[in-house]
Structures are given as C-alpha cells and as structure tokens.
Amino acid sequence: MRIIPAIDIIEGKCVRLTKGDYSTKKIYNENPLEIAKAFEASGIQYLHVVDLDGAKAKHIVNYKVLEEIATKTNLKIDFGGGLKSDEDLHIAFNSGANQVTGGSIAVKNPEVFNKWITKYGPDKIILGADCNNEKIAINGWQEESELDVIPFIKNYQAKGIDYVICTDIAKDGMLEGPSFELYTRILSDVDNVKLIASGGISTFNELPKLKEMGCEGVIIGKAIYENKISLKQLETLI
C-alpha cells in the first residue's frame, strides 16, 4: 500500500480544512516545499497536492507551487483541485504532476473527463469520488450531487479508470478514523479497483488495517501535521 501524504494549498501556503469547510482553514507552513522535502527525506515517494483555491475558482491556481515541488524534489505528485479544462490539465502536467485527479468534472462534464481518460490513459487520470452520505460532492465539496458513490465508480471503471481516491467528507480532518465500512463495500462491489483511502486517518494502527482490506494507497493529512502519526512511523511501511 502506497503512503501518500497530502499538501493542501491556499494562497501558496500549506493548510488543512475540516470537512472541506474553508472557514476552518489552519495554516501549517508558509512554504509547502519545506514540507515536501521533509517527506522526501523520510523516504516518502508519493505526494497528493490539492489546489483549494483552484477548487473554488474552478480553474487551476497554485500551479507554481506544484512546479516548485516537482522541480526541487523527486516525489511523484498527484494533483487535483479546479481542473476543469484541457488547458488546466495541460498546465498541471507541464508543471510536473505525474497524475491528476478529476472529481467535479467527472460529474459536470463527463465528455471532457472521458476524453482525458482516453488521451492520457488510466495511469495518469485518477477519479476523485469524494462523498457525503455516499453522495458524490463537487466544487471543492461545496455542493452535493445526486450520484451514489459506488455506481459512480463503476461507471467510470467501465470507461477505463483504474485509480480512485475516495474521501468520506464527514470524516475529513476529524481525526476520528477513516470510513472502513464504506471502503469495505467499495472493494467488495467494484472488482480490481485501485482504491486510495482518504479522510479521517488518525492513528498509525489504522494503516495496516486499510492495507489488509486491499486499499492500493492511503492519503494522510492532518494526522501528520498534528503529530498523531510521525514520519518515523511511516518509514516502517515504506
């Protein structure tokens, strides 16, 4: 199972939110590159970068931060937040993203998202299946759609998607544990999905459980920043 720390960006700074609520913003570092370098120094190979300004603005905003991390570390970065057009995608890949995550666009503009899957392939395009009460949420989690998470994933798997990041928004930033039940159901209902668990990770002991369940990766954010899980502990899983 891949260990994937998260860096969420607002105004170029490393922040965390609770349940996606922008009013709960807490700044952890003015310089995301410092954080990324600390991850790399601990043996971390992967990084999840979210452009929260982009998610709100509905177009890529913080690509310069992505570019700086990509050029000054060897981390393999998946990037999401506000990717709505071919131009956004072009900027993200040009700025050094290894993979990009599409969530809102997969709901609102499936034709474009399907085109991305065909053009770039399943190794480059991740489906963002973030949900609240199992309904897919969009636009930086500010809106809830009518789409149920498991059929949503199955639909895109039929179109060629392999990787899926699923965040249970009710768990995100709460440090109360991930959505084990939801992930168990996804993994049993959707064959061969590369499921990346996200949201709610609070202790190191949750990680082996997610691995045992069959998660391909796990995104860890606030638990690292609040020292609930140390980089030393993560080294044992890398």
Q: What tokens does 202 get?
A: 């609070």
Please confirm, yes or no, whether 130 is among the known catalytic residues: yes
Label residues 213-237 b or e (16+ Cβ within 10 Å = b). bebbbbbbbbbbbeeebebeebeee
Amino acid identity at 203:
T
Please confirm, yes or no, whether 8 is among the known catalytic residues: yes
* Given 8, 51, 168, 172, the catalytic residue: 8
Instruction: Name the pairing type of β-strands 13-18 and 2-10.
Output: antiparallel
Spatial distance between the Cα atoms of 191 and 214, rounded to a whole number of angstroms: 11
* Given 51, 78, 88, 130, the catalytic residue: 130
The owner of tokens 């990084």 is 47
> How many residues can be counted in the chain?
238
Residues annotated as catalytic are 8, 130
